[in-house]
Structure 1
Amino acid sequence: MDRWQEYEDRKTPEALWLYDADKMESVIQSREYAERGYANLEEFLGLIPKFTTSQMAAWGKVLHEEIQHSQIQRQHIPIIFIAGLFYQSFVYSRAKLQTGLPSINKTTHSKLLSEELNALFLSLSDILAQKSSDPADPHADFAALYLQKGLDTSPIGYMTDLLKENIDEGIKQRKRCIIIDSFPRSVKQLRGFEEKVQKGNLILFLTSAGAIRQGKASDYAIRTLRELEKEQPEELFKKIDCDSSEEYVYIFLKEAAEAFLDQAGK
């Protein structure tokens, strides 16, 4: 009890140091928030001038500079995921004859949407393929292995780091938004991305009521749909029914994306 009173009174060097250490913990946490794209950190940063010991004040100054640097480097940018029942990047017109699924070319739609919205288009498969074929890349073998294993089982941290590098490049290019094809494939992948990059991202999930009703969609895709729909806020998860024509599917995609961007710009 005496020690606690000493801490509360803050009259001894030890008590002052502990008091500063508590504030430092909050400042360190704010640095992590800054790296994830959070902008409103004034409450945390307001603790830095209150340090009473010279050592903590010096550390606080360094952390403040790092936080400012992170805020500049990691600006928030609207991110749109286009995922769904059609995980393959190749969904040709003959797909409906072979599988019973609608013949929607998801990647083509994603690229066209990126062009019209001045967005950076990203595909993990394309990124891994590029890295695996680069003899100068020290991680080429790993990229080839993960590409072969499939994105469903590849390490989430590694995939997220690859996306983050490219997203930062999109920010530098002053793109309006980022469109990511065929990701996330699970709630776990989504949460891993949010932890390392940013939250508040839109998922446009291509689905087919007819295919689900007829039992032609995979159990994995249906489970992913239900999990994401349950976990995501309604305004950040939009189902796009692909039973319509390709033209209408694209119109629905574009309308949902533009509504999200309009809201993000307010």
Structure 2
Amino acid sequence: MTRRSDPTTRQTLGRPPAVLVVPATIAAALLVLPLVALVLDTPWSTFLEQLGSEPVLEALRLTAVASGATVVACIVLGTPLAWLLARVDFRGRAILRAAVAVPLVLPPVVAGVALVTALGRNGLVGPLLRDGGITLPYTTGAVVIAHTFVSMPFYVLSVEGAMRSSGERFDVVAASLGATRWTTFRRVTLPLAMPGILAGSVLAWARSLGEFGATITFAGNYPGTTQTMPSLIYTTLQGDPALARTLSMILLLASVVILAALRNRWLTTP
């Protein structure tokens, strides 16, 4: 629960200085005003009708499938990577951790270019995939790969942090009792890291939900195949701003749900 400061304490500290209150108010307005404007300007009378249109339903379906598959990929691939970074000492671990964090600051379109360079038809491993009968660019699979690429760091860093905070002492106790490292991972490390796994999954899902740049660069924007909600919003904004605001409102509502899911982690103070 959020604790309110005691009235006596507030009186002792004095009034907040204007030099702090004024920029804080401007910052709050900058963050809140656009969201309020979006809510007020959304054509609510036709919201459900537009929400039920075929292009929107297709984009919603693909977004749901891609974000769900992204979370699964992050859990299956990212959990072992987080464990490796948190529990195993090896040469180059710091470099690997830095590489994992790079997509956090990489411009999305650059991430898309990197994926094309690596997995495109003429990319680094693209010809090998093509020889095996696999073509990734401009497919639904490419959407999932793009989303996983930009979402994985959120999951890995969250889970690694949870594993580090729990420490290795319980692992050592389990090992002293004869447990193998695999058993220790399943029976000790994972249960202790579960809050981080859940938070990382929600963060990965949220990042996937809003992904645009890498997706449109690597997968394109084909309705029913690679057109996710952000891509549809971008396309719709050119000719139907009212519909674009409606679609944006859908993602805004999803963001509110995400914040509600993470309220105990971010929205409270000890």
**TM-score category (smaller protein):** under 0.3
Normalised by the length of structure 2, the TM-score is 0.25
Q: Which is richer in helix?
A: 2
Normalised by the length of structure 1, the TM-score is 0.25
